[in-house]
Amino acid sequence: MSRTKPLRRTAFTLPSRAARFLEFVFRRLDATGDFYPDDAMEGTVPGPEPDRVVFVGERGELSLGVRTHELSLPAFFARHRAARTARGVSWKMLPAPSASVRELPSVIAAHREDLGRCDLVVVLVGITDALRVLPTRVWEQRVRDTIAALREVVPVGAEVVIGEIPPLDNAGSLSRPARLAAGVHGRRLNARTRLVVEACPRVRAVGFPDELTRSVWRPESDEHRYRDTYKVWGGHLDAHV
């Protein structure tokens, strides 16, 4: 009996994962409305004693859907932070080409100089990995690897913030069954992130803002919806640093 249950669970899990992955691939191939800015992935908010902030992660969470990086999540975060602290903020993005947590340690190793001067690192990744159904054990290990890689290069005293995966239950570009399944998996990955972070000093996990989770989200290439999302999300992240 004990052997039958895992087999039964696998029989249902594998088709579900395959269906979600195929739908994700179709969305990526058919994402004709997706666009990213092509200007510099960095900026400055003028002010005294500027904080140096580096964002590491996938572009889909940082700058999808806006035509300039001045409307990206890092830029809004920087403006919120500057207004709150009355100090300047310089920010820079280090995107992972594969949009996966698997690649973050190599991205970090390739940008030791930038990270070696920062005061704060914000890690935003996971939407793509949740849709691809990355196994939770792999996610947990890669989050540990990412934190270890950062500890090797960031200055003593620098903080690390890991933004949790948004609730994919509301991703209106996917079918309802795929949304619900991806939402469940995203929450599992977030739980593993919190487990890792609990044992890491000066590292914290920050959830997605509640006010952005109240309805199905269909941006439909509408820039102002991306911009407004980044503004709220950036302020939420800053409030938890």
What are the pLDDT digits (tens) for 115-153?
A: 999 999 999 999 999 988 999 999 999 999 999 999 999
Tokens 């593993």 map to which residue? 192
Outline where DSSP puts E strands in 62-220: 89-95, 120-124, 159-163, 203-206
Q: How many domains does the chain have?
A: 1
Question: What is the residue range of 161's domain?
Answer: 4-239
pLDDT of residue 14: 41
Nearest to 54 by CA among 141, 129, 144, 155: 155
Residue 213 DSSP code: S
Tokens at residue 19, please?
Answer: 């269906």
Q: How far is CA 117 from CA 72, 112, 114, 143, 161, in A?
A: 22, 9, 6, 22, 16
Say whether 9 sits in a helix, a strand or coil: helix
The CATH number of residue 203's host domain is: 3.40.50.1110
- At residue 33, the pLDDT reads 57
**Single pTM value for the model:** 0.85
The confidence score (pLDDT) of residue 214 equals: 65
